Amino acid sequence: MKIQDVYVSINNLDLKESLRKYGPTWSYIFVNEQLEVIAIEKYKKDLSNIEEKKMAHIYKDSVLIIARPGDYCSVNELEESIKSCKDAFEYIRKNP
């Protein structure tokens, strides 16, 4: 998935401007070890710990980034956040 598409999705830019405030407010972004976004799950409300664990089981071997509209002001800022997942994968490898 392209980073530009992820940025559009988490900021609800794929909705008409008048509808954006009614769009999903929570985006769960899953990044694989190749630093590719493999999935975005969007919800109106924050998920409970149990729901997050279920999702983590579905997308195991990935790192989760939680974002809300406006958390990333630019595509470059989002890209840096995704690149920082590399540190998480290195930590996981060293501490299984």
pLDDT in tens, 46-63: 888 888 888 888 998 999
Average pLDDT, the chain: 93
Q: How far apart are CA 1 and CA 57, in angstroms?
A: 21
pLDDT at position 73 over 80: yes
Question: Residue 44 pLDDT > 80, yes or no?
Answer: yes
The total of structural domains in the chain comes to: 1
Residue 78 belongs to domain spanning? 3-94
